[in-house]
Structures are given as structure tokens and as C-alpha cells.
Amino acid sequence: MFLSLAFVTLAASLASAVPCKRQDSCACGYVDDTGAVWREAVESDFTSSSGALSVVQQSWDVQTWTSGSSDVALARQNVAENVFEYQDALGLKTSAYDGSGTTKVAEIDSKRSDILFGTFRMRAQVPSTPGVCFGFFSYNGNTTPVSETDIEFLTAMPDYYQRVHYTNQPGNVNGETDFDAYHNVVVDGADFTTFGEHRFDWHPGSSTFYYNGALTSTITKNVPAIGSAILANVWSNGDPGWSAGPPTADAIATVQYIKMYFNSTSVSEDQFVSQCQAAGNVAQCKI
């Protein structure tokens, strides 16, 4: 009894001797495991006790846009209700198709759309219902062609739980797949329907992709070079050439966190250096 009480007291004093002031102390940026330095961060922990949707509200916009249909594709309607609290994390859902000609899908876009280079990590479970595309990607739709680096999972594929699709758009040339801009990779032994971290690092001239911290692919073609937002979505338009589907049951991706460490077009090198000096040149935060 006496010993365990003493231990509790010691543990408490040790904890208070190491104050956790991470937000204050990262004024000199973040250094990742490749040695790259990033000035800014957005860390969204959807498992937080404040609730996934309140975390979404801080840094993300829930989408409500609708796209039209075509010969091969159903219309898609993004509905806010399909972005929801799920299993103590964030659920992104394509609803079971109701035959109406329109699928109900889910998407969140980062409020920041000025992100230019960084490292982007999502810990998530891929849906196990066939017929959706689950995506985590950078996006700027104002360029022609669009600027986009994609991590995508296609749940209609037999090996969808270990096959991941990486693309720097456009992923085709003259209607043919461009295997310099699109890689699809099977990660032997992986099960993406269990929680894992999917990551892309965006540098000038290269996009590198990781699963649970291990490098899976590098693409050097069509690397975006413009301020962008980061998006996550689950969608289906019935197109047999990509999402397939639509799903006959709800298809839900569960996202525990998205962490982004990046530079932006809004904070210059000079501003960053002054901010770091003003904070006393504290050490960079290791991520």
C-alpha cells in the first residue's frame, strides 16, 4: 500500500516536470523522418473526446456539391450526413444505392487551400463493401489539367485490401494509362480494412508514398506545383472502369486521424525565420 502510493506520487511529479507545450514549442517547424523541415501543421485527431465532428469543423469543410450523370456514370450527391461520428472516429460513407440515379457520397476538404509541399498522413480503415473509391489526396481544380496527387482504394477489386492506387494526375495520356504517373501497388501481407497509416510526401519533383511508415512508391511525373487543399472522400458513380458499384450496402471508411505538416503560400521563409527567432530558436518538433 505504502509503496504503490509512493509510486503514484513519483509518477505524478515526473509528469509535471515534463510539461507538454507542443503547440508553443513548434515555432521552428517540424522535422520528418526523411530530414525534411515543414513550417506548419494541421493535426486532426478524430478520436478526440470532443467528438469527430467538432474536430472536422476546426480544419475541414464538409462538402455538399452534386455532379451530373453521364453514359457511364451515375450522378453523385455529397451529403453532410454521410460525414459522421463512427466507432469513436470519423466515418465517411457512400450510402447503399437506392436506385434513384444519384449516389449519396461523402467528402471533406481542408480549409487550407494554400498548401504547397509537405507530408500528409491518414490513419484509416478501407471500407469492405465493394463498389466505392476511398481517396486521400491533394487537389487544385483551377489548373488545366487539374493538379492532384492521389492515394485511392477501389473496393470492387478482389485484392482491394492490399492494392493501393497512386496517381499524379493526369494518370493517362491519349486515353491510355500512363504508368509513369500512375502506380498501383500490392502491399504483400497488408490488410487495409484494419487501421493503418497511408501517407504521401509532396516535394518539388517527387511524390513518395508510404504504408505504415514503409516506402511503397515514388512518382516523379506530373508532380503538382501549386497551392492545394487536402481532401478525403468515399464515392461511387458506377463507372466500371474505376469506382465500379454502386454499392448495395453502406460503404464506410473509418478515419482516426489526418496529420499534415507542410509549407504554404501564406507563410514565407522570412516570416518563418522571424517566428522561430521570436520563440528563442527552439528545437524543431520531430514527427
In this complex, which beta carbon is closest to ligand NAG, that of residue 107 or of residue 201? Answer: 201
Comparison of 110 and 263: residue with beta carbon closer to ligand NAG? 263
User: Considering the complex, what minimum distance in angstroms separates the CB of residue 79 from ligand NAG?
Assistant: 36
User: Which residue, 206 or 248, has its beta carbon nearer to ligand NAG?
Assistant: 206
263 is a site residue for ligand NAG (CB under 6 A): yes
Among 19, 269, 270, 280, binds ligand NAG (CB under 6 A): 269
Is the CA virtual torsion 145, 151, 157, 159 positive or negative?
Answer: positive
β-pair type (30-31, 285-286): parallel
> Nearer to ligand NAG by C-beta: 97 or 202?
202
Instruction: Examine residue 284 and tell whether it contacts ligand NAG (CB under 6 A).
Output: no
Number of residues that bind ligand NAG (CB under 6 A): 10
Task: Specify whether the CB–CB gap between 223 and 194 falls below 8 A.
Answer: no
C-alpha cell at 231: 481532401
> Out of 145, 175, 204, 241, which residue is the one contacting ligand NAG (CB under 6 A)?
204
Q: Does 227 bind ligand NAG (CB under 6 A)?
A: no
Q: Which of 203, 223, 242, 250 binds ligand NAG (CB under 6 A)?
A: 203
Half-sphere exposure of 195 (CA within 13 A, CB side): 12
For ligand NAG, the binding residues in 106-145 under the rule CB under 6 A are: 117
CB of 116 to ligand NAG, least distance (A): 7
Residues 19-58 that bind ligand NAG (CB under 6 A): 29, 37-39
Q: Closest distance between ligand NAG and the C-beta of residue 210, in Å? A: 17
Q: Give the separation between CA 164 and CA 145, rounded to whole angstroms.
A: 23
Q: Which is nearer to ligand NAG, 99 or 204 (CB)?
A: 204
In whole angstroms, the minimum distance from the beta carbon of 71 to ligand NAG comes to 42
**CA torsion, ordered 253, 129, 239, 86, to nearest 10 deg:** -20
When asked if residue 270 is in the footprint of ligand NAG (CB under 6 A), the reply is: no
Q: Taking the complex as a whole, how short is the minimal distance between the CB of residue 68 and ligand NAG, in angstroms?
A: 37
CB nearer ligand NAG, residue 125 or residue 264: 264
The set of long-range contacts for 46-52, using a CB threshold of 8 Å and a minimum separation of 24, is 46/89, 46/90, 46/255, 46/256, 46/257, 46/258, 47/88, 47/89, 47/256, 47/257, 51/85, 52/84, 52/85, 52/86, 52/88, 52/89, 52/90, 52/91
Q: Does position 228 bind ligand NAG by CB under 6 A?
A: no
Q: Coil, strand, or helix at residue 212?
A: coil
Cα 66 to the center of its chain, rounded Å:
22
Q: What is the C-alpha separation between 247 and 95, in angstroms, rounded?
A: 7
Task: Between 72 and 273, name the residue whose CB sits nearer to ligand NAG.
Answer: 273
Residues of this chain that interact with ligand NAG (CB under 6 A) are 29, 37-39, 117, 203-204, 263, 269, 272
